[in-house]
Amino acid sequence: MRMSNAKVPAAIRAREVFDNNGSTLLGARKFRGWGHLPNDEKSMHPDKVAYWVYSYDTPIAWVYKSGMAYMPPVRYSKVTLHHQKIVAEALGLKVNPIDWPLARPTMVTR
């Protein structure tokens, strides 16, 4: 379902599949690839995840089947930083992405 960023937090809390305007932020129940996530954050197995949140093609947060939410401590572009803040608030994560190190460019892998 396409929606504005203002409606995204509720969709994330409900674990709904969504696509914001322009497909820059989306929620998914299926793994869609690692995008630009640094290699040291790819150690978990996608089959243990119930819900993914992507900014462009990179997962910026996920919720394990156990219910635990995780957001990798990696900062990307200004747009993705905005997405991270929206997602962190929706998932109840007490994080401040502006303090995180910038991601180094990586090859996109799926």
| In a domain? residue 108 | no
Contacting residues for 58 by C-beta, under 8 A, at least 6 apart = 34, 35, 36, 37, 76, 80
| In a domain? residue 49 | yes
Q: Can you tell me the mean pLDDT for 16-38?
A: 90
Task: Give me the percent of the chain exceeding a pLDDT of 70.
Answer: 90
| In a domain? residue 110 | no
pTM of the model: 0.86
| In a domain? residue 65 | yes
Contacting residues for 82 by C-beta, under 8 A, at least 6 apart = none
Residue 106 scores a pLDDT above 80: no
Cβ(27)–Cβ(12) below 8 Å = yes
Question: What tens digit of pLDDT does each residue of 52-104 get?
Answer: 999 999 999 999 999 999 999 998 888 898 899 999 999 999 877 777 767 65
**Residue 32: its pLDDT value, please?**
94
| In a domain? residue 86 | yes
| In a domain? residue 106 | no
Please give the backbone phi and psi of residue 41, each rounded to the nearest 5 degrees, phi first: -100, 5
Helices (H), the chain: 8-13, 78-91
Note down the domain range covering 59: 2-99
Alpha-carbon distance 42 to 9, whole Å? Answer: 25
| In a domain? residue 50 | yes
Would you place residue 31 in the very low, low, confident or very high pLDDT band (cuts 50, 70, 90)? very high
Q: How many domains does the chain have?
A: 1
**Residue 109: its pLDDT value, please?**
45
| In a domain? residue 71 | yes
Question: Position of tokens 């401590």?
Answer: 73
